[in-house]
Chain A
Amino acid sequence: MLRFVTSRFLQSLLALFVVVTATFFMIRFVPGGPFTAEKAITPEIQRNLEAHYGLDQPLWRQYLDYLGNLARGDLGPSFKFSNRTVNEIIADKLPASAELGSLALAVALLLGVSLGTLAAVRRNTWIDYVASTVGMVGISIPTFVVGPLLVLGLAVHLGWLNASGWDYASDRVLPALVLGFAYAAPISRLTRGGLLDILHQDFIRTARAKGASEFRIVTHHALRGGLLPVVSYLGPATAGILTGSFVIETIFQIPGIGREFVLSAFNRDYTLVLGTVILYAALIMALNLVVDVVQAWMNPKVRLES
Chain B
Amino acid sequence: MSAGATTSPGRGPAPPANPAADQPESRSSLWHDAWLRLRKNRLAVFGLCSLAVVTLACLAGPWLSPFRYEEQQLNLGAAPPSLRHWLGTDTLGRDLLVRLLSGGRISLAVGLAATIVALSIGVIYGAVAGFVGGKRDAFLMRVVDIMYSLPFSIFVILLMVMSEEIAKRFNLGPNWRILLLFVAIGAVEWLTMARIVRSQVMAVKKMEFIEAARALGFGRRRIIFRHILPNILGPIIVYATLTIPAVMLLEAFLSFLGLGVQPPMSSWGLLIKDGADKMEEFPWLLIFPAALFSLTLFSLNFLGDGLRDALDVRSSKD
| Residues of A participating in the B interface, judged by any CB pair closer than 8 Å | 11-12, 14-15, 18-19, 22-23, 26-27, 30-32, 136, 139-142, 144-145, 147-149, 151-152, 156, 190, 193, 229, 235-236, 239, 242-243, 246-247, 250-251, 261-262, 265-266, 268, 273, 277, 280-281, 284-285, 288
Contact = CB atoms under 8 A, between A and B. Distances in A.
Nearest to B146: A15
Contacts, number: 116
A250 B257 contact: yes
Given A142-B252, A229-B317, A250-B257, 8 more contacts: A18-B146, A31-B166, A31-B168, A144-B252, A144-B253, A144-B269, A239-B151, A247-B257
Contacts of B145: 11
Contact of A156 (B154, B272, B279): B279
Contact of B286 (A152, A236, A288): A152
Contact of B168 (A19, A32, A147, A266): A32
Contacts of A284: 149-151
B162 A26 contact: yes
6 contacts: A142-B252, A145-B272, A242-B151, A243-B151, A246-B157, A251-B276
A273 B162 CA distance: 12
Nearest to A242: B151
B158 A26 contact: yes
Given A31-B166, A277-B151, A14 B294 contact: no
Contacts of B77: none
Contacts of B272: 144-145, 148
A280 B151 contact: yes
Contact of B298 (A15, A22, A140, A251): A140
B283 to A, nearest CB: 6
A140 B276 contact: no
B256 A32 contact: no
B150 A281 contact: yes
A285 B149 contact: yes
B190 interface: no
A229 B317 CA distance: 9
Sorted from nearest, which 4 A-B pairs have the closest CB atoms?
A148-B276, A140-B297, A265-B161, A31-B169
Contacts of B302: 136
B245 interface: yes
A250 B277 CA distance: 11
Contacts of B249: 142
B130 interface: no
A139 B301 contact: yes
A194 to B, nearest CB: 10
Nearest to A36: B165
Interface residues of B, number: 44
A242 B297 CA distance: 22
Specify the main secondary structure of chain A where it touches its partner: helix
B238 to A, nearest CB: 15
Interface string B151-167: 10111011101100110
Nearest to A190: B317
B275 interface: yes
B208 interface: no
Report which residue of A140, A251, A277 has the largest number of chain B beta carbons within 10 angstroms of its beta carbon: A140
Contacts of B146: 11, 14-15, 18
A30 B151 contact: no
Interface string B267-294: 0010011011001100100110010011
Interface in B150-205: 150-151, 153-155, 157-159, 161-162, 165-166, 168-169
B233 to A, nearest CB: 25
A19 B279 contact: no
A277 B269 CA distance: 24
Contacts of A15: 146, 149-150
Nearest to B245: A140
Nearest to B164: A32
A246 B258 CA distance: 12
B127 to A, nearest CB: 23
Nearest to B162: A30
Given A32-B165, A140-B245, A247 B154 contact: no
B253 A142 contact: yes
Contacts of B157: 246, 261-262, 265
